[in-house]
Structure 1
């Protein structure tokens, strides 16, 4: 695998009023940090399909209403890791019961103020600020 070619990934920026859904990553990359549910695309999978699959696997929730929100380039943050080209989807309606699963150690709804004191990546905070404003 050529490390210089970014891996394609997708994530679900789930919005419910002033809260957004974050998962605590239980495995690398970024183990121990909070992120939107998501992950890399499987062979033949579209970004939309990957987002829906990852949301279901990591939180038990099904995306009902969504749209592409933005593209984010994520440079590798750990030795030997790959760069990612991430498609972020804004999810505004979900169904199901929230329960962490797969590589998510925890899943919870948080406000921007709560997220800003958690171990999260700059890109997560940037997207949350775009969607929620600057906080209360």
Structure 2
């Protein structure tokens, strides 16, 4: 899952969730890239339990603008403010896009990622 800034820049890290039988990686034997945040789960889809780490790792980046508003969709894992808000740093704002508004407010979902769906 990429993060994109309003000026069109992609964040320096990309989140990748890999399916592992028990939801954890082995302690050794895997390669790490500085531009990837790789998490293990029992499914390849981001789960509610992974959201706090995602926020911790992606929101307070040094290359981000001083005013940061996190505009996220209304997926249940992101809407649960008790799970997410404690991880949002001071000075950052969390906003949720209403359900059914993806085509209006999430052009990446509609246009940008369409190109990648053929290759994944």
Q: TM-score, normalised by structure 1?
A: 0.28
Kindly indicate which of the two structures has a greater share of residues assigned to helix. 2
More strand by share: 1
Please report the TM-score for the alignment, with normalisation by the length of structure 2. 0.30
User: Relative CO higher for 1 or 2, CA cutoff 8 Å, sep ≥ 6?
Assistant: 1
Query: Over alpha carbons, which structure has the higher Rg?
Result: 2
